[in-house]
Amino acid sequence: MTTNLPELRSARLILRSSIREDVDVRLALGRHKEIVEAYGGTFDPELPFTREQAEAAIHFIEEQEYAWVIDAGRFIGHVRFHSMDRHDKRAALAIGIDDPAYLGRGYGTEAIRLALTYAFSTGLHRVSLRVLASNTRAIACYRKCGFLEEGRERESAFFNGRWEDDMIMGVLDREFVSPELPVSSSQLSEAITPPGDTYGRQEC
């Protein structure tokens, strides 16, 4: 169940909890080859996207402890933290833009920066992610948010008949500066009340 997270706003979008209408929007969006393959999946154009799958997608977001819907006037995807370790003050980031009309337009970058501003203000020290090394658009997005390449898992993903490397990226609290705020996230420890006591590949 999602922690009682605050609603976060930027110039073009809101990070919020899910609402009933999100299922209808997710159903209408369906599945897209570019997005499915960015996760390392195999796209089947003959495979229908059903209401049950749309409901399951929204339910998945609702069941995560630290997750927001990305709203740019309506549902376009979600961003979340998982694999949270409060002792080591670290977590993993996952983001998915489900509407291809919003890919490559900076919405993923905007959502990640909002989420990181919140995460580091709660006391996290490190956030990591993994992404297919061939997903150059997503990698460029993460670099804009302060993530650095930390290593590779060679030939760790097999899809479409070929092996792909996974890139491991990370950002530390002292390295991240939110464009929404004039100070580094490490200076925001009292700005937002902290929450109580398999990272996947990403699309942006």
pLDDT in tens, the chain (204 residues): 556 899 999 999 999 999 999 999 999 999 988 888 877 788 888 889 999 999 999 999 999 999 999 999 999 999 999 999 999 999 999 999 999 999 999 999 999 999 999 999 999 999 999 999 999 999 999 999 999 999 999 999 988 888 999 999 999 999 998 765 433 444 433 333 333 333 355 556
Sequence-ordered list of residues with C-beta below 8 angstroms from that of 66, at least 6 positions apart, any chain: 2, 3, 5, 80, 81, 82, 84, 91, 119, 195
Q: Say how far apart CA 116 and CA 75 lie, in whole Å.
A: 20
> What tokens were used for 101?
């009309």
- What three-state secondary structure class fits 35? helix
User: CA nearest 152: which of 133, 177, 138?
Assistant: 133
Distance CA 182, CA 119 (A): 17
Q: What is the pTM of this model?
A: 0.85
